Every structure is written in structure tokens, then in C-alpha cells.
Amino acid sequence: MAFDAGKPDLDCFPFEQWSRILAKSWRRPAIDQLYEGENGGYAALKFEVSAYLRSARGLECSPDQVILTSSTHEALEVLSQVLLDEGEEVWIEDPVYHSALQAFIRASVIPVSIRVDDEGFSLEQAIEKSPHARLVFITPSRQYPLGQTMSLSRRLALIEWARANNAWLIEDDYDSEYRYRGQPLQPLAARDGFERTVYLGSFSKVMFPALRLSYIIAPKALVEPLLAAMQSSGKQASILAQPALAAFMASGDFARHIRRTRRLYAKRYSVLVAALEKYGGDLFELQHYDSGMHIVAHFKPVLTSKISDIEAAKRLRKHHLITAALSQFFRTKPKPQGLVLGFAAVPEKAIDVNVKRLTDLLRQ
């Protein structure tokens, strides 16, 4: 449905290959992996994830650094438990992924919001606001939800700070597959060589969200403590899809699916930008970076004087247009007004007509 952010296109998902692989993987399962299950995930999947990250992201990591989780939320809860004591502070970006914020709160640590700027997260601002934090959660490749990348100087400063202070960086690299121009960016963890950086990835966008498989790539020193914490808290990703996903990746179907969706989303991205400029040039200031699965349309004064983004999203929802109010991603004031518009799951033909409907509804 237009313009639900975070939803991948599933009309083009290769269900035939997937179901064949899924059935085959369960015909003769490795019985030893069906009791407690492999610690940290199915061995073949850990191997495939590390091989994929090496080739797609230039990330040198070994299969034993891979820990499968059922969500990024779960990963963050376990990481908080291992890396911090209760009541300690963690720097998070403002705006932020809501589920990450919830994970830190559930883990009884204190998220301190640091407002991002054009270069992303600012260490200077963070130190000023809470000088004793030892953990930071960041989206350096594509700030969530605004989309800018963290500048090289900021990345280097963070790595230096973490090394000097025995602190940890958690890098959430949630949708780097979807860059439509230029080379993929080097992850922070690659630059750091996994000294102080924990890398998080997810299959939610490249496969589908209800698969519930995400992963941590941990520095070697953290693997055992993280596995122990997963075990003691009863957290474990389900085995059900893991052998099939490993085979799906090994067969090349996974890479093909990513290439196909990247082409599809690139087209939808430009159609959405063009439609917003055509129908809403006077209403919105667009923030977009030739990447991702959503773009941010900031309200211009003509719109902010009429309606809040929360009311706008409510009004649109009544007409079956799903958007997210930008202000709801922020914890500090002022809260910018705008809409987050997903395009990945919206067919090209539906984009233009629905942007027209959306702008008509907001003008009323």
C-alpha cells in the first residue's frame, strides 16, 4: 500500500525457488542441529552471511563472528546487557529507529539523544551532553530515517574515541543494499577492523520483515559473552528458515533478488521524486540521497501553518495512504514536520496517482 515505509516489494519475490529450497532443506535435516540448535545460528547460514558481507560490503569477518538473532531489537537488548550496566548511558541518534530506542529502554540503560546534522552523528555534541557514555548506536551508512551518510571525519573521530575510551560503537547497516548511484560505502566496522565496532544487519528488507532473522557481527572478544547472554535470556533465532536461507544465498538466488529489487526500487525512487516535485513542489522540501526505500518530505511553511504532520498522516490514513509523521522519530525539540514516504512496495503506476491524491488531501 502506498507509501508504507520499510515494506519491501514482495510481488517480485522468487517464491517458487524459495519454496523449493525450503522443502528440500527439511527433507533430510541435520538432526544434530534440531535439539538445542547451533549456538548463534545455523552453521551454514553463518558461513553464507560472512561470505556475503565480505563480497557485498567489503567486511572481513569470519563465520564465528556471526550471531543470528530474531530482530535488531533483540540484538540491541543483548548488546546492552553485555556492554553496559543497568542505568548507564548510551548515545543514540536523534531522530532514531523507534524499535532501537525501545530495546535500550527495555534493557534498563539510558538512551541519550544526540541531534544529527548534515554530517550525521556528532561526537562533540555527544560528549558535551553526556561525557561518560561508553556505547553509541549509529546508522552511519544511511541515517535513519533522514538518509544522510556520516562524514569520514566523524567516522574516524568516533573510532578514535572508542579506542581511547574502551567504548563500543554499534553500527546498524539496515539497508545498504539499496544505493542507486555510486559505490557502496565502506562500513564503519570495516574501517575499524572490528576492534570496537559491532555490526548489525537484517534480512527484513532484502527478504521480508516477518522472516524475523537479523544478525550481529561481533568483534571476536565479544562473541562468547554475547552467546552466553543470548542463552541465559532464552533468546535465539528460530531454526526454521535458516537452512533454507543458507541454501538460497549459496545458490545465487539471494544476490539475484537483491539485484532485481535494486533496479525496481531505483525506478520507483525517481518516479516518486518526480511526482512529489510535480504535485507538491510548493508543499514539500525533499530530502533524499539516491538510496534506501523511503524518502523524507519536509513540510514547507505553507503546510506547517495549516496542519501538523501527525494530523496529516492521520488524514491520509483515512484515505488508505500510509505515511509516517517525521516528528515522531525525534525526541528533542524542535521536531521537524514532514512525512516519511516508502516507495519500495508501490508499483510505478500507483506512485503518480497516489502522490496526486496525497497532495490534494493535504491542500484541503
Ligand X SMILES: Cc1ncc(COP(=O)(O)O)c(C=O)c1O
Site residues for ligand X per CB under 6 A:
6, 71-73, 97, 139, 144, 172, 174, 202, 204, 209, 214
- Among residues 198 and 303, whose Cβ is nearest to ligand X? 198
Q: How far is the CB of 193 from ligand X (least distance, A)?
A: 23
- Count of CA atoms in the C-beta half-sphere (13 A) of 307: 20
- Among residues 72 and 327, whose Cβ is nearest to ligand X? 72
Report how far residue 104's alpha carbon sits from residue 81's, in angstroms, rounded to the nearest whole number.
9
Q: How far is the CB of 247 from ligand X (least distance, A)?
A: 21
- Among residues 71 and 242, whose Cβ is nearest to ligand X? 71
Q: How far is the CB of 130 from ligand X (least distance, A)?
A: 22
Q: How far is the CB of 145 from ligand X (least distance, A)?
A: 8
Closest CA to 242 of 66, 4, 65: 66
- Among residues 94 and 283, whose Cβ is nearest to ligand X? 94
Distance of CA 304 to the CA centre of its chain: 29
Contact 91, 139 (CB under 8 A): no
Q: How far is the CB of 56 from ligand X (least distance, A)?
A: 17
Q: How far is the CB of 200 from ligand X (least distance, A)?
A: 7
- Among residues 8 and 219, whose Cβ is nearest to ligand X? 8
Strand extents, DSSP E, 192-240: 197-202, 214-217
Contact 249, 207 (CB under 8 A): no
Contact 217, 59 (CB under 8 A): yes
Q: How far is the CB of 259 from ligand X (least distance, A)?
A: 21
Question: Is 135 in a helix, a strand, or coil?
Answer: strand
Is the backbone of residue 41 left (phi > 0), alpha (psi -120 to 50) or beta? Answer: left
- Among residues 261 and 359, whose Cβ is nearest to ligand X? 261
Closest CA to 192 of 49, 59, 47, 76: 59
Q: What is the DSSP letter of 179?
A: B
Q: How far is the CB of 144 from ligand X (least distance, A)?
A: 4
- Among residues 77 and 172, whose Cβ is nearest to ligand X? 172
| DSSP H helical ranges for the chain | 15-27, 43-57, 72-83, 98-106, 123-129, 152-165, 188-192, 220-232, 242-250, 253-280, 301-304, 309-318, 348-363
User: What letters, b where the CB count within 10 A reaches 16 and e where it falls short, cover 210-227?
Assistant: ebbbbbbbbbeebbeebb
Q: How far is the CB of 329 from ligand X (least distance, A)?
A: 10
285 pairs with which residues across the strands? 298
Contact 109, 87 (CB under 8 A): yes
- Among residues 48 and 172, whose Cβ is nearest to ligand X? 172
Report how far residue 191's alpha carbon sits from residue 93's, in angstroms, rounded to the nearest whole number.
20
- Among residues 280 and 342, whose Cβ is nearest to ligand X? 342
